[in-house]
Structure formats: C-alpha cells, structure tokens
Amino acid sequence: MAQQFELVAIEGNIGVGKSTLVPKLVERLNEMDSRPWKMILEDVDSNPEFQRLLAAFTQDPSQRIAFQRFITNHRAELCKDLDPAYNYVLERSLYSDLVFCQANLQEACRPDGADLTYYYDIWDKLDAYPQVTSVVYLRSEPLLSYQRMLQRARSAEDGTSYHYIKLLSDCHDTFLPHICRQKDTMLLTEDWSHFGCHDRVARRILHKL
C-alpha cells in the first residue's frame, strides 16, 4: 500500500542551521496545510550515549563505525510506526548516514570490510524505512558552517576540523542528489549561507513555489 503521509528530511552540514529551522518550518506548514505536521528532532543534546560516541569519534576517527552504527540505528527507530494521520519534518534521515559514510571512507587510509559492510547496511535499512518524499538541503559555505559549529560550543564536537566540515560539504553536494535519484525523492536545495526564509521552504514543500 502506498505511503499515506509526507516525510520531509532536512539535510545539510554540521552547524548549518537544521535544528533552528525545523520548529519554525513545522509551525508554518501547520498554518498553510489542512493536514497536521509534526517534527522529529534528534535528541543530540540530551542523549548521553550519542554524546559519548560522538566525542570518541571526534577525538579518534578510528571510532567512527561505533558512532555511525549507533546513530543509524537510532535514526531508523525514530521513524518506525509513524502515525499516518500526520505529515512529518525530520532533522536528518538515513540519507545523511550515507553522506557521512562517504566522507569517512574518504578519510580512511584504507577502508576495511567493516566500513564497506556498514555502507551497504544503510541501504538495506532504507528498504524498511518510510519513503522520504522530499529532502530540503540547506547548503552553506563550509567556513560559515564551521564558524556556527564553534559558536554553539558543543563539547562533543571539540576537535572537529574545518577540513572535515569542507569534506562533508563536498560529499553533500556530490552524493545527496544521487541518493535522492536512487530513492525517487524530490530534492529542494536552499542557499543557507545567510540563513533563509522558512515560509519559502514551506511553500516549496507544498509545491506552491
């Protein structure tokens, strides 16, 4: 049976402004649409295991698989058994895991079997994942994303380099369109270097722009 609800994923680099946009966007969508919308945010600031694994990965890239597997499983759980009476705006989807995996494969001196197995495990998880109907890609200059990350001062992100933020930007630009084509997902790219208008994003999601 065809999926009965919209699932919109907000994607983009670390620090670009996803979590700031999502509540404003959902509020506007509820004003514009006859069907109710809910938001699904990552609990990054309140989840101690996420914080622990992120800090370990930031300090030691060899710990990346443990962190990535945790967050992939967590994201998959967030989207299980969604109530079809609502539409949803999601802060990051499993598409994000594919992009980050590509970036981390580029960083690895010689990817091993665990790296490659994990990448294909994400694709397998997408088979049971709800259809992402649209991706809103918030694109900004990597330096601005890096500066915003520093300004929010999350301790678990200490040590994240500008080089890594630049690599993530390149991987989003390169691989996100490919993933969306593979999964038949509409890709809506927004320039977020100086932030943007949540009303405009809502109208694009509802195909009014």
Give the active site residue among 6, 11, 42, 91.
91
Give 150-195 pLDDT, tens digit per residue: 998 877 677 789 999 999 999 999 999 999 999 999 999 999 999 9
Is 150 among the domain residues? yes
- The domain of 102 spans 7-207
Residue 90 located in a structural domain:
yes
Other beta carbons less than 10 A from residue 101's beta carbon: 24
Do the domain assignments include residue 2? no
Two structure tokens written together for 165: 């933020």
Asked if residue 209 has pLDDT above 60, the reply is no
The percentage of residues in the chain with a pLDDT greater than 90, rounded to a whole number, is: 68
The reported pLDDT for the residue numbered 13 is 96
Residues 51, 71: Cα–Cα separation, whole Å: 11
29 sits in which H/E element = helix 18-32
130 in any annotated domain: yes
- DSSP alpha helices (H): ranges in 33-183? 48-59, 64-78, 94-107, 113-126, 142-152, 162-182
Q: What is the pLDDT of residue 93?
A: 97
Domains: count for the chain: 1
Q: What is the model's pLDDT at position 146? A: 93
Kindly list the strands in the beta sheet with 87-91, ordered across the sheet, starting from the edge strand earlier in the chain: 37-40, 87-91, 7-12, 134-139, 186-191
> Is 31 one of the catalytic residues?
no
**Which CATH number goes with the domain that contains 52?**
3.40.50.300
pLDDT at 196 > cutoff 70: yes
Q: Are 207 and 134 in contact (CB under 8 A)?
A: no
**Residue 1 domain flag:** no
Does residue 128 lie in a domain region? yes
Annotated binding residues for ATP, written as ranges, equal: 12-20, 148-152
The reported pTM is: 0.91
